[in-house]
Amino acid sequence: MTRDRSSERTSLWAKAWYKFRRDRIGVVSLGVVALYFIVALGVWLGLWGQGWSQVDGPMWAPPGPDHWLGTNIIGQDIFERAIYSTKTAFEVGLVVAVLSTLLGGFFGALAGYFSNSWVDELILWLMGVLDAIPFYLFVAALAYALQGYPYAMHIAMIATFWTTTARLVRGEVIKLKNFEFVEAARAIGLPRRLIIFRHITPNTFHILLVQATIVFVGAIKSEVILSFLGLGVTDGVSWGLMIAESTQEVQAGHFSNFITASLFLFFLVMAFNMFADALQDALDPKKVAA
Amino acid sequence: MTRSGEPLLRVRELAVEFSTERGPVRAIDGVSFDVLPGETLGVVGESGCGKSVTALSILGLIPSPPGRIAGGSIRLQGRELVGLPERDYRHLRGKEVSMIFQEPMTALNPVLTVATQMTDVLMRHQGMSRRQARRRAIEMLELVEIPSPEKRIDDYPHQMSGGMRQRVMIAMALSCNPRLLLADEPTTALDVTTQAQVLEEMVRLQQKLGTSVVLVTHDLGVVAESCHRAVVMYAGRIVEEAPVEELFEHPRHPYTEGLLQSIPRIREEKLPELPTIPGSVPDLLELPPGCRFADRCYKADDRCRQQEPELELRCDIAVACFHPNRYAGCPES
């Protein structure tokens, strides 16, 4: 699985990358996402955004050379806090996207391959139950059950977001398992484990990748809402917490905190959505193979 | 059977049933034949006569549900395969019995390289390391005459032509030296020149490796070129079995006769129109009580419509007909 794989894979990836590069909106949005990513990486490495919790100014200072975007209700630098929140957003987005995609791919493939058997029934039932619980109620219940555990929000999102991926993968696998190459794999005596996870699931890769980007955006947006409700981030700052703070400030006529957090969120979500769109087009197997 | 030697594959009274909304359908019913070591057996018939079902049931790959083997026996080197647990079957497939499929375009996995697909089989059945398996796979590709196999092995299927893919399929199916190869319409999806090449390749390898082949096809030309014996199927039953020359020279069963007449011949200019067999294949759910071919047969009489003829063997030729064509050289009753 390791050696000369890079050279083997070039043809498919090269074609997708070639198509992606010609999509101007895709390239620009990728640039924006990359910029956000670098900011988040810098925070993680301790290069900037470290003063997010310091109280080093007067309350509600206007934007200026000391505080580029002013200060909040207790005198913390809004720009620092927004920068630090980028890291929070990426952390939530990546963790939730990766884990829920793995989970969804795994259960979706199982359910699809064993469709109409008890395995499928069980997984469908589980997905139905999870989908039926209102999301915020579920998170609140989990947060309460886990009593201040900082990853309660992540767990809640993963537990609910994987179902969409699983449903998509299930459908695709049901289609794929009747293809001749699956029958051929069976005819040469490969065990089911190999057939499902090596021969069928890689064929759903385009779905998994696009679905992961969609979940990434969904997780960031949900984080903001959950933090606003006090159910989200507890050990840092996030755009959601900033917006929550600003409820009092807006009434007093100070909009900087609210606008900053909203714009940071807006540009990331917007860029990521456009990137996901372009990626979907570039990875469409029918167009790539041509 | 008068042919000498212990058969490699012995199929007896095999019946496969599919449940449908309108009730159970017997896709094949009472099929019996033998395949000797090193022999190529053609299975001929029109669409839906049960050719592919026969091949799939030998490999235990009948989709179940809705399908199931309703009776009969399949013995490979004396070992009963009907009712064999899936686990044991998996050790058999690819190693003892292998299969080539019709569509080379879809029978190879589009997201895996040829190397991955070929080495998987070898590593599993022959216990080879990845490196050994790769070397063996390259050898096999060389054997089926793929140019510069050490490079092409890292290709994805979409980088190859249809004929090349089918040759990769053949190489993959033969890589573990199976005793029996099932080929389900291996050349149907290819254009005529490629067809001939692939067929030639198969025959050559079959002779070289001593593999027995069951070749399922609707193309009588393919049978004439590559088979020793042929089985003609109609509506889920065998109607005639004979050595290929005999089948083509002296067709006993009226259906075989009709099939042969409906092949266009370039030499004969006189025929104003290509003869066809009138009517169509009966609905397997509403089979007539007598011979299944009776409604389309120019020889059919009352007996044919009431009683189903059994397959009867005389001088190495088996026919299921009350009024077979008779030829000199074989003392028939």
DSSP string, B172-221: HHHTT--SEEEEESTTTTS-HHHHHHHHHHHHHHHHHHT-EEEEEES-HH
Closest in A179, A188, A190 to B98, CB measured: A188
User: Does the pLDDT of residue A118 top 90, yes or no?
Assistant: yes
Closest in A4, A190, A199 to B124, CB measured: A190
**Maximum Cα–Cα distance across chain B:** 67
User: Does the pLDDT of residue A29 top 50, yes or no?
Assistant: yes
Confidence bin at A196 (pLDDT 50/70/90): very high
The answer to ipTM > 0.85 is no
Closest in B108, B113, B121 to A181, CB measured: B108
Chain B residues touching residue A289 (CB < 8 angstroms): 110, 158
Whether A2 and chain B come into contact, CB under 8 Å, resolves to no
Note which residues in 65-94 of chain A have CB less than 8 A from chain B. Answer: none
pLDDT reported for residue B331: 52
* Closest of A215, A252, A257, A218 to residue A239, by C-alpha: A257
Confidence bin at A121 (pLDDT 50/70/90): very high
A184: phi then psi, degrees, rounded to nearest 5: -65, -40
DSSP 3-state assignment of B279?
coil
Q: Tell me if A181 and B110 make a contact (CB, 8 A cut-off).
A: yes
User: Does the pLDDT of residue A290 top 60, yes or no?
Assistant: no
pLDDT reported for residue A95: 93
| Cβ-contact A76, A245 below 8 angstroms | no
Note which residues in 158-197 of chain A have CB less than 8 A from chain B. Answer: 179-181, 183-191, 194
d(CA A255, CA A238): 17
β-pair type (B97-100, B67-76): unpaired
Q: List, in sequence order, the alpha helices (H) in chain A.
A: 5-21, 24-44, 78-113, 118-132, 135-146, 152-176, 180-187, 192-194, 205-228, 239-251, 256-283, 285-289
Nearest-CA distance B75 → chain A (Å): 18
d(CA A70, CA A174): 55
Burial class (CB in 10 A: 0-12, 13-18, 19+), A65: exposed
d(CA B54, CA B151): 37
**Rg of chain A, C-alpha, whole Å:** 22
Chain B residues touching residue A181 (CB < 8 angstroms): 106-110
Closest in B91, B111, B112 to A189, CB measured: B91
Tell me the per-residue pLDDT of A129-145, one tens digit each, with 9 for 90 and over: 999 988 888 877 887 78
Confidence bin at A101 (pLDDT 50/70/90): very high
**Maximum Cα–Cα distance across chain A:** 75
The stretches in chain B having pLDDT less than 70 are 1-4, 267-272, 328-333
| Cβ-contact A69, A79 below 8 angstroms | yes
Task: With respect to residue A244, please indicate whether it lies within any of the assigned structural domains.
Answer: yes
pLDDT reported for residue A267: 93
Q: Tell me if B169 and A205 make a contact (CB, 8 A cut-off).
A: no
pLDDT reported for residue A286: 56
pLDDT reported for residue B333: 41
pLDDT reported for residue B329: 62
For residue A193 the two structure tokens come to 């484990």
CA dihedral B305, B311, B314, B315 (to 10 degrees): 130
CA nearest to A178 within chain B = B63
| Cβ-contact B320, B238 below 8 angstroms | yes
Range of A188's domain?
34-52+66-289
Whether B93 and chain A come into contact, CB under 8 Å, resolves to yes
Q: Tell me if A187 and B108 make a contact (CB, 8 A cut-off).
A: no
What are the residues whose beta carbons fall under 8 Å from the beta carbon of B121, sequence distance 6 or more? A188, A189, A190, B94, B172, B175, B176
pLDDT reported for residue B270: 66
Share of chain A above pLDDT 70, in %: 92
Total domains in chain A come to 1
Q: Tell me if B95 and A205 make a contact (CB, 8 A cut-off).
A: no
Q: CA distances (Å), A257 to each of A79, A88, A252, in order?
A: 9, 17, 12
For residue B23 the two structure tokens come to 């009730």
Nearest-CA distance A189 → chain B (Å): 4
Which domain CATH number covers A45?
1.10.3720.10
For residue B159 the two structure tokens come to 């980088």
Residue whose tokens read 């009948």: B62
d(CA B114, CA A190): 15
Task: With respect to residue A8, please indicate whether it lies within any of the assigned structural domains.
Answer: no
Task: With respect to residue A146, please indicate whether it lies within any of the assigned structural domains.
Answer: yes
DSSP run (H or E) holding B240: strand B237-243
pLDDT reported for residue B323: 84
Task: With respect to residue A16, please indicate whether it lies within any of the assigned structural domains.
Answer: no
Tell me the per-residue pLDDT of B187-204, one tens digit each, with 9 for 90 and over: 777 778 878 888 888 888
d(CA B148, CA B163): 16
